[in-house]
Amino acid sequence: MNNILVDVKNLNLIYQSVKSETQALEDISFQIKNQEFVSIVGPSGCGKTTILSLISGLIKATSGEIKVLGKTPNPKDDLCGYMFQRDNLLPWRTIEKNIYFGLEIKKQKTGERKEYALSLAEKYGLKDFLKKHPSELSGGMRQRVALIRTLSLKPELLLLDEPFSALDYQTRLELCDHVFEIIKSEKKTAILVTHDIYEAISMSDRIIVLSARPGKIKAIHETGFKRSSTPFDRRKTTKAKKLFDIIWQEIQNEKNDEIK
Amino acid sequence: MKKMMKLSKSHYDYLKKYRTKKILILLTQISILALFLILWEVLTKYEIISSFFFSSPSKIMDTIVELFRSGELIYHSQITLSETLIGFAIATGIGFLVAFILWYSDFLRRVAEPYLVVLNSLPKIALGPIIIIWFGAGSKAIIFMCILIVIIVTIMNILNSFTSCDKQLITLAKSLGANKFQIFFKLILPNSLKDIVATLKINVGLSWIGAIMGEYLVSKAGLGYLLIYGGQVFDLNLVMTATVILCILASVMYFAVALFEKLMNKFYNN
């Protein structure tokens, strides 16, 4: 069982606020293998992002257990790298300094680490932009900088929280391929949260479908694509189309249930 | 040098136009001042308006020279300037520190909120009698008045800026395991730099108000004292002179802050 990177067991989360308490997640259990790419989809407000926050250790579960490489997650460890919908680059820093931001926080800004970060930047086409400021870069480029900032910390697990949804369609498809490529070649495990079903299908090995709030696991689908195929190619297959119809129906049913 | 060589015709024209406009603005500014002074001088010289009530540029110059020779100019300016600078420094420093503490502790911030609101809306001059009784009729009271006027605005402005930092940036830092000090020095502070400089600029004005107001209340010396004294003996030359000196000193202090702003920008853009 050494191959299991993430182990989530009977996870429950109840949000407290002055007005009420809300059950956000109910009895979530799943496992993720090393180098697997898993997506989480579901109707909006079902707690997709919350699962990532829990796995990264940013928030604590009400009950249940999460282990990443056998350890309870803590943001201070280097196990998880979190990537957000927005690139969150600091506007007053150059691209290079932005890439070092994580290293600075973790107090790992050593020559070797900086070199590694720079080699990533070079490898993924950002070499000429290192001295520029974020405002001078396009949305897709900025998101790539954010990915390199995350990767420079050598996380075992990447948590991707709708990282493409703020981009225009063209850029989104391009960056999808790019990020997929990067994650595969750096041999990372990834969890992607998205509301774009095709995006989930084209990038993942497995897809977890959540129900409406409180989020429960409704279904888990294996995509069964060849590892070598790109997300762009996968989108065009009939297999993707069939899977899309199934997942679409599942989410649609959830929404209808909610209305009833 | 590279840039110079690469200048295209259209860019050259643009730059030329830009420079011409800049010079035009400066010239207009100077002309307005000159026209104002000349008009003032002529009108009072021919007694179209009374030089007794309005003084005149030449009389003000005479008074400045006279005060300078007797050493009074330096003496009074230096007293007010030092009160202002001390008040400015203490209020800005403590204000910044308090803002940091209130940013750090959500509990303290919520406790302090109503107090800040009341202290902010209170006209500080109303505390004049209390200040005189506590600190005596001297520089201490004036500096305290100055601090009182500057500090509340400093706390409120800077705290407001600290708490307005993008929540998502903070989440990013937290996801990297940042502690509160790291969040402060790597995110909050650079993010607030512009607002801090803006607060400093406001504080320059406020600390002069504080010092002069303090001197109105208790002083035996200083530019505020000259103003009050001049007013009481109907020496408009003295009043106008003190006002002009005040203008000059306040501008110098403002430009010092502007210079500081430039240095900070350079530091952070590297």
The Cβ of residue B170 has, within 10 Å, a number of other Cβ atoms equal to 16
Counted domains in chain B: 2
DSSP A176-226: HHHHHHHHHHTT-EEEEE-S-HHHHHHH-SEEEEEPSSSB-EEEEEE----
Please say whether the beta carbons of A182 and A212 come within 8 A: no
A138/B120 Cα distance (integer angstroms): 44
For residue B4, pLDDT beyond 70? no
Q: How far is A168 from chain B (nearest CA, A)?
A: 21
The secondary structure element, H or E, covering residue B26 is: helix B9-45
Q: Are residues B232 and B106 in the same domain?
A: yes
Per-residue model confidence (pLDDT) at position A126:
85
Q: Are residues B195 and B259 in the same domain?
A: yes
Q: What confidence tens digit (pLDDT) does each residue in A197-243 have?
A: 888 888 888 999 988 888 888 888 888 888 778 888 888 888 888 88
Q: How far is B265 from chain A (nearest CA, A)?
A: 10
For residue A125, pLDDT beyond 90? no
A193/B117 Cα distance (integer angstroms): 44
Instruction: Note whether A82 contacts B: Cβ–Cβ < 8 A.
Output: yes
Please say whether the beta carbons of B162 and B188 come within 8 A: yes
Global ipTM? 0.84
Q: How far is A244 from chain B (nearest CA, A)?
A: 32
Residue showing tokens 């209170």:
B122
Instruction: Note whether A73 contacts B: Cβ–Cβ < 8 A.
Output: no
Task: Provide the pLDDT confidence category of residue B248 given band limits of 50, 70 and 90.
Answer: very high
Instruction: Note whether A212 contacts B: Cβ–Cβ < 8 A.
Output: no
Q: How far is B202 from chain A (nearest CA, A)?
A: 24
- Do strands A189-193 and A37-41 pair parallel, antiparallel, or not at all (unpaired)? parallel
Task: For residue B171, list chain A residues with Cβ-Cβ distance below 8 A.
Answer: 58, 84, 88
Q: Are residues B81 and B18 in the same domain?
A: no
Structure token pair of residue A62: 């009400």
Instruction: Note whether A100 contacts B: Cβ–Cβ < 8 A.
Output: no
Q: Which residue of B has its CA nearest to A107?
A: B178
The one-character DSSP state at A74 is -
CB contact under 8 A, B172 and A84: yes
CB contact under 8 A, B176 and A105: yes
Q: Which residue of B has its CA nearest to A149?
A: B176
Of A75, A84, A86, the CB nearest to B177: A75
Mean pLDDT of B67-80: 93
Residue B43 to residues A99, B39, B164: CA-CA distances in angstroms? 66, 6, 53
CB contact under 8 A, B176 and A75: yes
Q: Are residues B16 and B126 in the same domain?
A: no
B93/B134 Cα distance (integer angstroms): 23
Of B171, B177, B268, the CB nearest to A105: B177
Please say whether the beta carbons of B178 and B186 come within 8 A: yes
Q: Which domain holds residue B29?
A: 2-49
Task: Provide the pLDDT confidence category of residue A98 given band limits of 50, 70 and 90.
Answer: very high
Task: For residue A92, list chain B residues with Cβ-Cβ distance below 8 A.
Answer: 190-191, 193, 268-269
B104/A185 Cα distance (integer angstroms): 42
Please say whether the beta carbons of A212 and A250 come within 8 A: no
Mean pLDDT of A142-159: 89
Instruction: Note whether A101 contacts B: Cβ–Cβ < 8 A.
Output: yes
Mean pLDDT of A170-190: 86
Q: Are residues B104 and B156 in the same domain?
A: yes
Helix axes B72-104, B106-121, angle to 10 degrees: 140
Q: Are residues B34 and B136 in the same domain?
A: no
Q: Are residues B120 and B26 in the same domain?
A: no
CATH of the domain at B113: 1.10.3720.10
B40/B61 Cα distance (integer angstroms): 13
Q: Residues of chain B with pLDDT > 70: what percent? A: 97
Q: Are residues B195 and B62 in the same domain?
A: yes
Per-residue model confidence (pLDDT) at position B64:
93
Instruction: Note whether A88 contacts B: Cβ–Cβ < 8 A.
Output: yes
Per-residue model confidence (pLDDT) at position A258:
64
Q: Which residues contact A238 (CB under 8 A, 6 or more apart)?
A: none
Q: Provide the residue ranges of all domains of chain A, joining segments of one domain with +.
A: 4-79+155-259, 86-154
Q: Are residues B79 and B97 in the same domain?
A: yes
Residue showing tokens 């696991």:
A217
Q: Are residues B252 and B127 in the same domain?
A: yes
Task: For residue B178, list chain A residues with Cβ-Cβ distance below 8 A.
Answer: 105
Q: How far is B151 from chain A (nearest CA, A)?
A: 28
Phi, psi dihedral angles at B49 (to 5 degrees): -120, 150
Nearest to A5 by CA among A36, A40, A29, A41: A36
Q: How far is B183 from chain A (nearest CA, A)?
A: 9
Q: Are residues B88 and B37 in the same domain?
A: no
A214/A64 Cα distance (integer angstroms): 15
> Coil, helix or strand for A68?
strand
For residue B47, pLDDT beyond 70? yes
CB contact under 8 A, A105 and B173: yes
State whether CATH 3.40.50.300 applies to domain A4-79+155-259.
yes
Nearest to A164 by CA among A152, A155, A173: A173
CB contact under 8 A, B175 and A75: yes
Give the B-side interface with A, CB within 8 Å: 166, 168-169, 171-178, 182, 186-187, 190-191, 193, 268-269
For residue A173, pLDDT beyond 70? yes
**Chain A with chain B: Cβ pairs closer than 8 A:** 45
**Which amino acid is residue A161, in one-letter code?**
D
Q: How far is A215 from chain B (nearest CA, A)?
A: 23
CB contact under 8 A, A105 and B187: no
Per-residue model confidence (pLDDT) at position B269:
64
Q: Are residues B38 and B159 in the same domain?
A: no
For residue A2, pLDDT beyond 80? no
Task: Provide the pLDDT confidence category of residue B2 given band limits of 50, 70 and 90.
Answer: very low
CA dihedral B251, B253, B259, B260 (to 10 degrees): -150
Opening angle at CA A108, ends A104 and A110, nearest 5:
105
